[in-house]
């Protein structure tokens, strides 16, 4: 198992380019029909955060890639957010965006969709507000490795987190069900008791593609995810699933999901 994990990690380090990655995300937006996966996920995120069915101030995103849209709604509710990511060039892109470097990646198209999901009609005015909100909430961008027991640097684990968000990441790092289960155990240890975890991902996904590179993804069924969560101390598991027959995206899957659970 260790050798396979090392191979997957090497592939990300060698072949995952942040700029190509953003183009891949954009092609995902264009390929989809009227309401797409992102609208579904952003709406679910807004419903979760506006429901107030959680407490706390400290949030950790695991596997951010070079993206800021997944924490956009959270930034209105959580004043202390740590973003984390395995590939250093992605971390660097995030830091550039936070500093407003002139050559940083532009996430406007995604943030417009976040604004719409939040019910804003003045989308163009909303985007700079959301950007400012994210920049104020993100306190650090750090290296993450979900295949390592430490996951993120020690100085960021002194206090447990109230909420963990991870989008399309755990399956892309895990080599098999045991490895996936171990990742959930590591996430659990970073959370406080009663803390929430949000997982956004796809079932039965076997690869995801950036340019010519096809990256690994562990194909999982809903019941396998649910069993692994329970085995690792999570309960109150709540699923929202989007059946999506489209097959013209740069990844394959049965459906996409938004899941919330609680550390018991």
Residues lying near ligand SAM in the complex (CB under 6 A) are found at 9, 12, 16, 25, 63-65, 67, 70, 85-87, 90, 144-147, 167-169, 172-173, 208
Residue 53: phi and psi, rounded to 5, are: -85, 55
Helix (H, G, I), strand (E, B) or coil at 143: strand
Q: How far is the CB of 38 from ligand SAM (least distance, A)?
A: 9
Q: Least Å distance between CB 20 and ligand SAM? A: 12
Which H helix or E strand runs over 91? helix 88-99
Q: Which CB atom, from 49 or from 251, has the smaller least distance to ligand SAM?
A: 251
The owner of tokens 């800021």 is 68
- The distance of closest approach from Cβ of residue 170 to ligand SAM in the complex, given in angstroms and rounded to an integer, is 8
Q: Contacts by 151-159 with C-beta closer than 8 Å and gap 24+?
A: 151/62, 151/84, 151/186, 151/187, 151/190, 152/60, 152/62, 152/82, 152/84, 152/190, 156/60, 156/82, 156/84, 157/190, 159/58
- Measured CA to CA, the distance from residue 44 to residue 257 in angstroms comes to 10
Of the pair 211, 236, the CB lying nearest ligand SAM is at: 211
Closer CB to ligand SAM, 236 or 246, in the complex = 246
CB of 87 to ligand SAM, least distance (A): 4
Measured from the CB atom, is 124 or 246 closer to ligand SAM?
A: 246
Instruction: State the residue number with the nearest CB to ligand SAM.
Output: 65
Structure tokens at 214: 């096809």
Q: How far is the CB of 122 from ligand SAM (least distance, A)?
A: 26
In the bound state with ligand SAM, the residue whose beta carbon lies nearer, of 81 and 167, is 167
């Amino acid at each position: 198992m260790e050798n396979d994990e090392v191979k997957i990690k090497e592939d990300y380090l060698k072949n995952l380019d942040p700029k190509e990655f953003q183009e891949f995300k954009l092609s995902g937006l264009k390929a989809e029909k009227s309401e797409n996966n992102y609208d579904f996920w952003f709406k679910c995120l807004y419903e979760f955060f506006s429901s107030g069915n959680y407490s706390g101030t400290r949030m950790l995103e695991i596997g951010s890639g070079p993206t800021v849209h997944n924490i956009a709604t959270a930034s209105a509710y959580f004043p202390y957010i740590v973003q984390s990511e395995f590939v250093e060039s992605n971390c660097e892109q995030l830091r550039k965006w936070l500093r407003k470097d002139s050559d940083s990646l532009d996430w406007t198209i995604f943030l417009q969709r976040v604004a719409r999901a939040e019910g804003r009609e003045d989308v163009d005015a909303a985007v700079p507000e959301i950007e400012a909100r994210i920049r104020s909430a993100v306190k650090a961008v750090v290296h993450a490795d979900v295949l390592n027991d430490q996951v993120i640097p020690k100085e960021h684990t002194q206090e447990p987190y109230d909420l963990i968000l991870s989008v399309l990441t755990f399956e892309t790092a895990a080599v098999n069900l045991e490895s996936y289960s171990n990742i959930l155990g590591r996430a659990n240890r970073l959370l406080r008791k009663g803390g929430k975890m949000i997982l956004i991902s796809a079932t039965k996904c076997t690869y995801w593609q950036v340019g010519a590179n096809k990256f690994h993804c562990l194909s999982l069924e809903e019941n396998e995810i649910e069993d692994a969560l329970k085995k690792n101390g999570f309960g109150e598991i709540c699923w929202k699933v989007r059946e999506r027959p489209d097959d013209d995206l740069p990844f394959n899957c049965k459906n996409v999901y938004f899941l919330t659970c609680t550390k018991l």
